[in-house]
Chain A
Amino acid sequence: NAGVTQTPKFRVLKTGQSMTLLCAQDMNHEYMYWYRQDPGMGLRLIHYSVGEGTTAKGEVPDGYNVSRLKKQNFLLGLESAAPSQTSVYFCASSPGRGRPGTQYFGPGTRLLVL
């Protein structure tokens, strides 16, 4: 099993450009999450999904959109990138009910917005 994978690993964008980050998991997990990690602020939840076709807002959802069309994939979109979105983005998945909170993290995507 590959676990949780993220594409791309690193990206540089110009202000106003758009992009999509892809997260894929092969563990048949129900729940998936997108976080951003910034120095001194830990991980902050952007959006999450408790099942295929469902999404919900986390702590810092503004400027991001997500989709979960397939159970194994969770996409994070930036429609118009801003320098404040420079960060490291982590995707995570968890089995869901019965084992809440045991999240498995991907390797991260480093995004730089100029």
Chain B
Amino acid sequence: AQSVSQHNHHVILSEAASLELGCNYSYGGTVNLFWYVQYPGQHLQLLLKYFSGDPLVKGIKGFEAEFIKSKFSFNLRKPSVQWSDTAEYFCAVMGYSSASKIIFGSGTRLSIRP
């Protein structure tokens, strides 16, 4: 069965700090991987996704993620965070043969100090 682990439940950073949010998944086959973001009071939006090809994926707002197959990881990074990045971030995985079922991690709340 698919599962996703996000080990950081709440991360607090100052503006301009670098960010890395961890995501590990469990699945025995080919996967598609996603990061979604939920800003306060808003619904989820797709930040970036990995289907195949270059394991370094660039998304919106300066975010990127790297798929490391040997580590079953898909960590999210941003070199310099802004106050507007305050949100909850969800990693998600979809097994290639799972009929578009996406399994979400429990989320990481990111708080940015101005």
A binding-site residues for B, Cβ under 8 Å: 31, 33, 35, 40-45, 48, 50, 56, 58-59, 90, 92, 94, 96, 100-103, 105-108
Q: Is the CB of B43 within 8 A of A94?
A: no
Tell which of B6, B44, B94, B107 touches A101, judged by Cβ atoms closer than 8 Å. B94
How far, in Å, is B92 (CB) from chain A's closest CB? 8
Residue of A nearest to B6 (CB): A42
B contact patch SS: loop
**A-B CB contact pairs (8 Å), 26 listed:** A33-B102, A35-B104, A40-B9, A40-B106, A42-B4, A42-B106, A42-B107, A43-B44, A45-B101, A48-B100, A56-B99, A90-B44, A92-B44, A96-B100, A100-B32, A100-B94, A100-B100, A101-B32, A101-B49, A101-B51, A102-B46, A102-B49, A105-B43, A105-B45, A107-B42, A108-B43
Q: Are B106 and A41 in contact (CB under 8 A)?
A: yes
Which residues on A sit within 8 Å (CB–CB) of B94? 100-101
- Chain A CB within 10 Å, residue with most, of B44, B90, B105: B44
- CB of A99, distance to nearest CB on chain B (Å): 9
Binding site for A on B (CB under 8 A): 4, 6, 9, 32, 34, 42-46, 49, 51, 90, 92, 94, 99-107
Measured in the bound complex, the distance between the Cα atoms of B106 and A42 in whole Å is 4
A100-B32, A102-B49 given; A31·B100 CB < 8 A = yes
Note all chain B residues with C-beta closer than 8 A to A103. 44, 46, 102
Residue from A59, A92, A107 in contact with B103 in the complex, judged by beta carbons closer than 8 Å = A59
The reply to whether B46 and A42 form a contact with Cβ atoms under 8 Å apart is no
Contacts of B92 in A (CB 8 A): 101
A59 to B101, CA, bound (A): 10
B100 CB contacts on chain A under 8 angstroms: 31, 48, 50, 94, 96, 100-101
Interface contact B90-A43, CB-CB below 8 Å: yes
When distances are taken between beta carbons in the complex, the residues of chain A under 8 Å from B45 are 105
